Amino acid sequence: MKKVLIALLAVAVIGLVAYTLLFDRNAAPQVSYTSLSGQQADTASLKGKVVLVNFWATSCSGCVEEMPEIKKLHQQYGARGLQIMAVAMSYDPPNYVQAFVQQNQLPFFVALDGQGSIAKAFGDIQLAPTTFLIDKQGNILKRYVGVMDFKEVHQILNQQLGA
């Protein structure tokens, strides 16, 4: 009887682990992005890439602080498959965003979220910066509220993209 219970417990644990690995992924929401230059992207077109989605604003000191580091991430990992999507918050005036992008020569995809639909899809983001790391299968690996832990981000990117 004891052996049967242990076997049933083992099967239950294995089933739970398998379910979690196969089905209980935290999938990134299905959204569409339009860059300042009019370029289009959506969640489906980003499959196969590791994606960093950064919600930011020009009036946010933490956002401005981390932007040079995000630019370095693009330079270091862009050719290896990292796609950066910098999403300006809905309250950020488009002309401020455009001026910031030009002044700082941001080389990655910058989108305006004028209606707040992208922020809403990601869980109604209110605080900036908020950043998501998404794996090649479209699952959220990590969420940062506030300035990212860049040491940890590098570890995750090296793991996902190969060191």
Q: What is the pTM of this model?
A: 0.84
Question: Could you give the 3-state DSSP secondary structure of residue 62?
Answer: helix
Q: What pLDDT is recorded for position 6?
A: 57
Question: Any idea which architecture 28-161 has in CATH?
Answer: 3-Layer(aba) Sandwich (3.40)
Measured over the CA atoms of residue 107, residue 151, residue 61 and residue 42, the dihedral's sign is: positive
Amino acid making up residue 14: I
* pLDDT tens digits for range 105-151: 999 999 999 999 999 999 999 999 999 999 999 999 999 999 999 99
Average pLDDT, the chain: 89
Q: What is the DSSP letter of 58?
A: T
Average pLDDT score over residue span 11-22: 44
Length of the chain: 163
Helices within 23-146 (DSSP H only): 61-77, 94-104, 117-121
Domain ranges of the chain: 28-161
